[in-house]
């Protein structure tokens, strides 16, 4: 195994494709939980309303898979800005068995592999995700001042899954992010206590913006084990932490002739 310039270039190109993803949205992270496997399709819809009433709607789709061992795979469709081409699909595998974080780029059959042996799964109990949000690029955590007390929305069934609802309102004080008046952000969130995931989340603000995240095709069953490994015909690029410059890149295995 030797370091070569091509590995760094390939990784830079791959990360460049990933950098085309829109700014971090309200989409929640799927936590690693042992013994609660599932798969789903998550749809994110961001709506912006202009002063003249024009509405802009932006949608993203992500497939999630979580194994009974706690590993999580996400397949995210990333549109190419200014292009009518089909969106890129970027796959990440948070392998909680090995501690690896894999990023797969199907169009080039390449994978970056970050080794994190200290990040193996810990058997933690399933908990309801806390309410958090973002506004004008500002991340607002559940413990930040400005939140109202949570209000229960009761319980119901969504897509065949039992969920519990809660609502909180966050007040962005005037001048905090350049706003001349105070802005309120309302979050309604429905979560599964059995799976520890958000099934439906609606965020709206007095500025007219809205974000809706919801799961469809939710199946509570063990996904195929091959979904949590790097395919044999992918070129691997190892990414390691380096005390000097933070990142060290090396080539790893290359596909065999039989796998090409």
pLDDT at 98 (0 to 100)? 82
pLDDT at 49 (0 to 100)? 79
Provide the 10 A C-beta neighbour count for residue 73.
Answer: 22
| Distance, CA of 43 to CA of 22 (rounded, Å) | 15
Continuous segment of H or E residues that includes residue 14 = helix 5-18
Give the pTM. 0.79
pLDDT at 118 (0 to 100)? 62
pLDDT band at 250 (very low <50, low <70, confident <90, very high): low
| Distance, CA of 58 to CA of 74 (rounded, Å) | 19
Q: Are 96 and 102 in contact (CB under 8 A)?
A: no
Out of 25-34, 107-116, 172-181, 182-191, pick the least confident: 25-34
DSSP, collapsed to helix, strand or coil, labels residue 143 as: coil
Q: What angle do CA 40, 42, 46 make, to 5 degrees?
A: 175
Residue with the bigger pLDDT between 76 and 147: it is: 147
Out of 50-64, 131-145, 168-182, 191-205, pick the least confident: 50-64
In the chain, the N- to C-terminal Cα span, in Å, equals 20
Domains in the chain, ordered, with CATH?
5-259 (2.50.20.10)
Out of 7-11, 109-113, 209-213, pick the least confident: 7-11
Torsion angle, alpha carbons of 260, 78, 31, 63, to 10: -70
Listed residue (255, 228, 3) closest to 101, CA to CA: 228
Tell me the pLDDT tens digit for each residue of 176-226: 999 999 999 999 999 999 999 999 999 999 988 899 999 999 999 999 999
Report the half-sphere exposure of 64 (CA within 13 A, side-chain side): 27
- The set of long-range contacts for 186-190, using a CB threshold of 8 Å and a minimum separation of 24, is 187/131, 187/133, 188/153, 189/129, 189/131, 189/165, 190/153, 190/156, 190/158, 190/163, 190/164, 190/165
pLDDT at 122 (0 to 100)? 61
pLDDT at 56 (0 to 100)? 86
| Distance, CA of 28 to CA of 198 (rounded, Å) | 7
Tell me the pLDDT tens digit for each residue of 158-181: 989 999 999 999 999 999 999 999
The values of phi and psi at residue 24, to 5°, are: -50, 130
| Distance, CA of 166 to CA of 247 (rounded, Å) | 41
| Average pLDDT of every residue of the chain | 81
- In this predicted structure, the answer to whether residue 21 has a pLDDT above a threshold of 60 is no
The DSSP bridge partners found for residue 156 are: 163
Which of 22-26, 28-32, 152-156, 239-243 is predicted most confidently? Answer: 152-156
């Amino acid at each position: 195994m030797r370091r070569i310039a091509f590995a760094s270039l390939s990784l830079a190109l791959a990360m460049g494709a990933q950098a085309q993803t829109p700014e971090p949205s309200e989409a929640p992270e799927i936590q690693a939980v042992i013994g609660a496997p599932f798969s789903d399709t998550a749809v994110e819809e961001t709506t912006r309303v202009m002063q003249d009433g024009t509405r802009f709607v932006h949608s993203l789709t992500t497939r999630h898979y979580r194994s009974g061992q706690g590993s999580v795979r996400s397949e995210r469709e990333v549109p190419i800005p200014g292009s009518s081409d089909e969106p890129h699909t970027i796959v990440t595998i948070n392998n909680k068995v090995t501690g690896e974080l894999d990023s797969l780029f199907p169009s080039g059959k390449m994978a970056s592999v970050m080794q994190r042996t200290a990040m193996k799964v810990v058997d933690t109990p399933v908990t309801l995700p806390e309410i958090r949000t973002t506004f004008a690029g500002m991340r607002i955590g559940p413990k930040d001042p400005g939140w109202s007390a949570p209000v229960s929305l009761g319980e119901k069934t969504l897509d065949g899954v039992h969920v519990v609802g809660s609502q909180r309102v966050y007040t962005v004080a005037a001048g905090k992010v350049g706003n001349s008046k105070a802005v309120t952000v309302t979050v309604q969130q429905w979560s599964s206590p059995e799976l520890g995931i958000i099934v439906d989340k609606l965020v709206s603000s007095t500025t007219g913006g809205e974000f809706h995240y919801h799961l469809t095709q939710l199946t509570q069953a063990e996904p195929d084990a091959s979904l949590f490994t790097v395919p044999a015909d992918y070129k691997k690029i190892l990414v390691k932490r380096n005390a000097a410059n933070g990142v060290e890149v090396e080539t790893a295995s290359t596909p065999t002739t039989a796998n090409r």
